[in-house]
A and B are shown apart, each in its own frame.
Chain A
C-alpha cells in the first residue's frame, strides 16, 4: 500500500511540474461546467448572448415595477401674485393616454381661513363648509374651485332675482330684486353630462381603476372605481347627466345657458373638470391649490379587453395616507393581523383584556376581498358599534372553503369615550392563521381600512409578496388630495419647458414605393430653460393624419416604434434629436405630427416638463433628384452621363460629396412632373443650354422659351466644405406642387479602395458602435442601434480566392488608376506575371497565392484634374481662368491578410431566428476538419497507449490483476 501512495505522490508531483502553462489553463470538466460550455457553445451558434439573455430576463421580471404612473406639474402665472390678482394655474399632465381635453381635472382651492375641522371644533369655519356636512375638508375645497370654473364669471346673484337674500333688506335694494328667480323655474338647458371613468374618450370601454405605489413601483387595482368629483353632500351627483335647477344653483351656473363658462362644454362637464387644464381665480394671500387628474395611463390592463388603467395624477404626485405595499392573491388563504391603536398618548396593550368596568364602545371592522376576475367575495361590513360593559374579545372571521378566501373580522376594537381616556385599554389584535401568507402591520401609502370615527383609529397591512389587488374604498385615493396642495408662491415648483423644435429637410418627401428612398427627416429640439441639459429625458411620439383639415385635432394613437420607418430610440436621456425615414406606405398620411415630451427631475417631487409639437405636411413621391456625371465633348457640348449616377446609397444619399471645378447634372424623372423650377441656395439655376439670342437649344434638351426642364447642370465653384442646397419644384400628375431637395457638399478629392467581391475579400470588422437614432436593418444581437465599424485600410481575404478590387474616386469611377501590389507597380507587362488582371473600367483582380496569415499591400493612385474640355467649358460659360484649376495626386493603400474566416462572420444576427438551423449546420460543417484532426490524434494516442500497456505487460508472466 505504501508503494501505491508513493506512486500517487510521484504522479501528482510530475503532474504539477510537467507543464506550468497547461496548469494555468487547465479547467477540470465538471459535469455542470462541461455541460454549460456545451450549452453556451450551442447558444452562441444560435446567436444567443447568454449574458444579455440573463439581463433581459432580470429586467423583464421587474419591468412591471418600473412603470411610470401618470403625473402632473403645475405652473402659475404670474409667479408672484398679490392679493386680488387673477392667477392662472396651468396643469401639464403626462403619461396619460388621453388628450388633455378628455381628462377630468378636479381642482381644489383652499383659502388660508379654511382649515380641516368639524363642527364644534375651534377651527371650524362655517363659511368654508360649502356642502354643509358639518365639517370642512377637501370636498369643500373642490367645490370652491369647481364653482369658479363652472361659473365663468356669471352673475348668479342677479339670477336669483327677488329671492336673493340681499333683497330681504329693507334699505336700498339691488336693481335685480325686481326680477324673477331664474333658478325657481325648471332648468331645461340640456347641460347635463355623463362622466366616464378614465376620461371622456373612454366611453364604452371597460373600466379598471388603479393606484400607484411609488415605493414598490407596483400598481394596485381598486375594488371599485369612483370619480374624485366634489361631494355635494346631497343626491346631486356630479357627472350623472342630470343637472337640474338645484344643481345649477349650487354650482352658481346660468340656468338658461348650456355652457355658462363658455368652454364649449355643458355645465356639468365643467363641474366635472373635463378638459379644465387651466384654473383661474383671484388670489388671496395664503391660498393653496391642487388638482387631481383622472384619465387612462399609458399602461394597459391585463384584462382581455381594450382597457387601459384608469389612474389619477396629483399636483405633487405624492400621497402619504398609508398604503398596502402588496396584498395576497385571491387563490391563497391568508393570515391577517391587523392592529388598531389609539392616538399616541394612549397606552397600547397587546391583549384584548379590558381592565375597566366602564361601558365601552365595541367596533367591528371587516376586510373585503375581491377575486382576480373582479368578483367581490366579501363586502366590507358596515361600521358597527355596540355597547357593552364586559370584556371585549377578539373575533376570528369566517372562512370560505369554496374559493379559499377568508374574510376576517380583523379586529374587535375597543374604543373609549371621553371619560375613559385615561384608563381604557384600547388595543386589540386578532390573528387568523390559515396559510403561509403573512400580513403584518406596517406603514404605507394607501390605507387598507378606513374608519371615520373615532379618528384615532388606524389599521394597515402589508405582506411580503406583491400582487395586483388590494382592498380600499373611495377615500383611499381621495385622502391623498390634502397632501397635494401647492402654494403658488412656494419655490422649487415645477416649471414648463420652453421647447423649440426644428426639422430638416424643410419639405420632406415620402416614398411609398418598395425602394424606400424617402427623405430621412431629423427633428432637433432646443430647450432654453432647463436646469441641466444633460439629464433631460426625451420622449418622442409620431402621429399621422389622413385628414386634409387638422381642425379636429384628432391624431389618434401615437405610432409604435415599429410603425415608424427607420426610427431609432424614441425615449431616453439626452435624446435631443429624433430621426426617421419618410417611407410610409399607402395610404399615405397627409400630415405627421412629431410630439416631444421632455422632463427633468429637479428634486424628488419637482419635475420640469414641457411638450411641443411639430406638424409636417407630407408630399409623397417615389422620385428624387439624381446626381450624375457629365461629359463635355470636343465641341464643348455638355451632356449628362446617365449611366453614372452618384450618391445613391448610404450617407452620401443625404449629403452628396462633389469636388471643386466639376460640372454635375441634376435630374428628375420627366414623366412624373411638369412645370419644373430649379434653384440652389434660393437662387434659380439658369437653363444653360438655351441661347437667348437664337432661341435654340445649344445642346441636350431645353424647354420652350428657356423654361427649365427635368435636367439642369451645375458647376461646382464653391470652396471645400461649402454646401449647395438644391431644390426642384414641379407639379405632379395629381396637380399637386411637389418640392424635392438635395444637399451637395464640396469635398477634398480622395480615392478609396473597395472590394469588388465581398465573398473573396472584405474590410476587417473593428467592432460595433451605438447609433441611437438610426436603425440598423440587420440588427446585431437583437440590438438595432448597433452598427458594424469596418477598417477602411485593413482587409481580409480567403486563401486561394481571386481578390477583386475597385477604386472609388470621390464618388466618380475612374479608369486611369495606377495599382501596385506589394510595392510593384502593375501594368500591362507586370500584371500577367503574378496572374493579375486590370480591367478597362479600372478594376483589378489577382489570385491570393500566399499561405494562411500572409499579407498583401495594395495601393491605388490617380491624378485628380479636370479634363481639358471641362476647363474650356467652365472658361466659356462661367469665366473661370485656367490658373483657377489645380492638379492633385491622391493615393489609398490597404493591406489584405489571408484568413480562414471573416471577422464579421462570427457575429450573431437576429435573422438567425429563421436561419438558426443552417447556422448550426454551417458551424458544425466548418468545425468538422478540426474535429477529425482532433479525433485522429486522440484515437492514435489511445491506440499507442494501449499497445504500450500491452507491450509492457507482455514482459511480465501474468498481470497482477489476475
Chain B
C-alpha cells in the first residue's frame, strides 16, 4: 500500500498542473510531504520517526553524513569541470551579484525543496521499502527517482546533484535510520556547489 501511495504521489506531481513557482512549491509540499505524512499518521497510524524524521543515532548519522558530504564535494568538483553540467546548471542573476540574495536562495528556496524531496525519497520511499528490500532499499531513493525522471522527462546534467544526494543519502538514511543527516549533508553540498559555481562565473 505504501508503494501505491508513493507511486500516486509521483503521478500527482507529474500530472497536477502547476503554473508558477509558488504553485510548484505548494504541489511539492503536498505530494512530497503532506500526503505521505497524513497517510502515515491517519491511515497507518505510525509515528513519522519510522520514516526517518528523527535524530536518533546522531553519532552514526553525523559520521555517515560527513562522509557523504566529502563524496558529494568530490562529485561536485568533477561536475563543475563538465561543460555540459555548468552550461545547463541554473543560477538566478540576482544570486550571482548579491550575497544576501544568495543566502535567501540557499537557505529558503533550495532548502525547502531539498527537504521535501529528501523526506520523500530517502525517508518515505526508503523506509517503506526496507521491509521488503532489506539492504537493497539503500538503492530505492536513487532508482525510484531516476526511473521517474527517465519516464517523465529527460535525465539532464542539471539533475546530477539531486541524484547524487539521493544515491548517497540512501546509504546514510539506512545506516542512521534517519533522513535528516543526509538532508543536512545535501544542503551543505548545494550551498558549496552553488558558491563555487558563482566563484567560477566571477
Q: Is the C-beta of B103 less than 8 angstroms from some C-beta in chain A? A: no
- Which residue of A35, A927, A953, A962 is within 8 Å of B110 (Cβ)? A35
Asked whether B27 lies within 8 Å of A938 as measured between CB atoms, the reply is: yes
Interface string of A1-19 (1 = CB under 8 A from B): 1001001100111011011
Return the CB mask of B41-84 against A: 1 if under 8 Å, else 0: 01110100000000000000000000000000000000000000
User: Which of A4, A28, A930 interacts with B129 by CB under 8 Å?
Assistant: A4
A946 at the interface (CB under 8 A from B): yes
In contact, A938 and B30 (Cβ under 8 angstroms): yes
> In the complex, which residues 43-69 of chain A have their Cβ closer than 8 Å to any Cβ of chain B?
43, 48, 50-51, 53-54, 57, 61
* B87 located at the interface, meaning its Cβ lies under 8 Å from any Cβ of chain A in the complex: no
Whether A23 is near chain B, meaning CB under 8 Å from some CB there, is: yes
Complex partner residue of A29 from B28, B97, B150, B190, CB under 8 angstroms? B28
Query: Please, how many angstroms separate the alpha-carbon atoms of A33 and B110 in the complex?
Result: 9
Specify which chain A residues have a CB less than 8 angstroms from the CB of B117 in the assembled complex.
Answer: 31
Do A30 and B161 contact each other (CB < 8 Å), given the known contacts A35-B113, A37-B21, A53-B93? Answer: yes
A to B contact number (C-beta, < 8 Å): 169
Judging by beta carbons under 8 Å apart, are A39 and B92 in contact? yes
Main secondary structure of the interface of A (DSSP, over half): helix
Whether A941 touches B16, Cβ cut-off 8 Å, given contacts A32-B90, A38-B21, is yes
Asked if A54 contacts B18 (CB within 8 A), the reply is no
**A30→B158 contact, CB < 8 A:** yes
Q: Which residues on the B side are within 8 Å of A51 (C-beta)?
A: 93
Report chain B residues within 8 Å CB of A945: 8, 12, 35
B199 adjacent to chain A (CB < 8 Å) = no
| Known pairs A30-B158, A35-B109, A953-B43; A938 contacts B16 (CB<8 A) | yes
Contact of A53 among B28, B89, B97, B110 (CB under 8 A): B97
When the two chains form their complex, are residues B113 and A29 in contact, meaning their CB atoms are under 8 A apart? yes
Interface residues on B, range: 35 or more
Name the contact of B147 in the complex, choosing from A12, A935, A950 (C-beta under 8 A).
A12
B136 to chain A, nearest CB (A): 8
CB nearest neighbor in A for B143: A8
Question: A946-B38, A946-B43 are known contacts. Are A19 and B15 too (CB-CB below 8 A)?
Answer: yes
Cross-chain contact B151 with A16 (CB below 8 angstroms): yes
Fill in one digit per residue for B9-33: 1 if any A CB lies within 8 Å of its CB, else 0. Answer: 0111011101111111111101000
In the complex, chain B residues whose CB is within 8 Å of the CB of A30: 113, 158-159, 161-162
Verify B92–A50 contact, CB threshold 8 A. Answer: yes
The minimal Cβ–Cβ distance linking B188 to chain A, given in whole angstroms, is 13
Nearest residue (CB) in A for B44 is: A961
Judge whether A36 and B34 touch: CB under 8 Å: no
A38 close to B159 (CB less than 8 A): no
Assess the A1–B132 pair: CB atoms within 8 A: yes
Give CA–CA (A532, B4) in the complex, Å. 73
B2, B24, B89: the one within 8 Å of A32 (CB): B89
Contacts of A949 in B (CB 8 A): 1, 4-5, 39, 43
Residues of B within 8 A of A938 (CB): 16, 26-27, 30
Is A31 a contact partner of B153 (Cβ separation < 8 A)? no
- Chain A residues within 8 Å of B11, by CB: 11, 15
Among candidates A26, A54, A939, residue contacting B14 with C-beta atoms closer than 8 Å: A26
| B12 pairs with A50, CB closer than 8 A | no
Query: CB within 8 A of A12: which of B30, B151, B194?
Result: B151
CA distance A22 to B152 in the complex (A): 8
Identify which of B10, B20, B93, B162 contacts A41 (C-beta below 8 A). Answer: B20
Report whether A36 and B90 are in contact in the complex, using a CB–CB cutoff of 8 Å.
Answer: yes
CA distance A475 to B162 in the complex (A): 60
> Which listed residue (A23, A32, A931, A942) contacts B22, Cβ 8 A?
A931
Q: Which of A148-173 contact B (CB under 8 A)?
A: none
Given contacts A35-B109, A931-B22, whether A961 and B147 have CB atoms under 8 Å apart is no
A40 to B95, CA, bound (A): 10
Q: Counting CB contacts under 8 A, is A777 at the interface?
A: no
Q: Is B196 an interface residue (CB 8 A)?
A: no
Q: Measured between C-beta atoms, what is the minimum distance from B161 to chain A in Å?
A: 7
Tell me how far the C-beta of A65 lies from the nearest C-beta in chain B, rounded to whole angstroms. Answer: 15
A-side contacts of B44, CB under 8 Å: 959, 961-962
Q: With contacts A15-B151, A51-B93 known, is A32 near B158, CB below 8 A? A: yes
- B200 smallest CB distance to A (angstroms): 13
Within 8 A of B (CB), among A394-436: none
Asked if A23 meets B153 with Cβ closer than 8 Å, knowing A34-B109, A36-B92, the reply is: yes
Q: Is the CB of A36 within 8 A of B91?
A: yes
Closest to A962 in B: B44
CB-CB under 8 A from A50, the residues of chain B are 92-94
* A934 on interface, CB distance cutoff 8 Å: yes
Contact A32 B20, beta carbon cutoff 8 Å: no
The interface bits of chain A over 926-962 (1 if a CB of B lies within 8 angstroms of the residue's CB, else 0) are: 0100110011011101100110011011000001111
Complex partner residue of B190 from A31, A43, A935, A959, CB under 8 angstroms = A31
Q: Is the CB of A26 within 8 A of B162?
A: no
Contact A33 B39 (CB under 8 A): no
A27 contacts partner chain B, Cβ-Cβ < 8 Å = yes
Query: What's the least CB distance linking B117 to chain A, in Å?
Result: 7
Q: Which of B24, B97, B151, B162 lies in contact with A57, CB distance below 8 A? A: B97
Asked if B192 lies at the interface with its beta carbon under 8 angstroms from chain A, I say: no
Q: What is the bound-complex CA distance between A54 and B95, given in angstroms? A: 10
A946 to B37, CA, bound (A): 11
Nearest chain A residue, comparing its CB with the CB of B95 = A39
CB-based nearest B residue for A51:
B93
Q: Which residues of A have CB within 8 Å of B39?
A: 946, 949
In this complex, what residue of A is CB-closest to B149? A28
Residues 148-183 (chain B) with a chain A CB within 8 angstroms: 148-153, 158-159, 161-162
A942 touches B132 (CB 8 A): no
Cross-chain contact B42 with A39 (CB below 8 angstroms) = no
User: Could you tell me the distance in whole angstroms from the C-beta of A723 to the nearest C-beta in chain B?
Assistant: 49
In the bound complex, how far is the Cα of B3 from the Cα of A449, in angstroms? 76
Task: Check A935/B26 contact, CB under 8 A, given A28-B152, A941-B12, A946-B35.
Answer: yes
- Shortest Cβ distance from residue A50 to the other chain B in the assembled complex, whole angstroms: 4
Nearest Cβ distance between residue A426 and chain B, in whole angstroms?
Answer: 44
CB <8 Å contact, B15 and A22: yes
A selection of 28 A-B contacts at a CB cut-off of 8 Å is A8-B144, A11-B7, A12-B148, A16-B151, A23-B153, A26-B152, A29-B113, A31-B190, A32-B89, A34-B21, A35-B110, A36-B91, A39-B95, A39-B109, A40-B92, A41-B20, A41-B21, A43-B93, A53-B93, A53-B94, A935-B26, A938-B16, A938-B27, A942-B34, A949-B4, A949-B43, A953-B43, A961-B1
Q: A26-B153, A57-B96, A941-B16 are in contact. List 12 more A-B contacts (CB 8 A).
A: A15-B151, A31-B162, A34-B25, A40-B21, A40-B92, A41-B21, A41-B22, A50-B94, A942-B35, A946-B42, A953-B1, A961-B2
B contact set with A: CB distance below 8 Å: 1-5, 7-8, 10-12, 14-16, 18-28, 30, 34-35, 38-39, 42-44, 46, 89-97, 101, 105, 109-110, 113-114, 117, 128-129, 131-133, 144, 147-153, 158-159, 161-162, 190, 194, 202
The 5 tightest CB contacts between A and B, nearest first, are: A35-B109, A39-B92, A50-B93, A53-B93, A38-B21
The interface of chain A, by Cβ under 8 A from chain B, is 1, 4, 7-8, 11-13, 15-16, 18-19, 22-23, 26-43, 48, 50-51, 53-54, 57, 61, 927, 930-931, 934-935, 937-939, 941-942, 945-946, 949-950, 952-953, 959-962
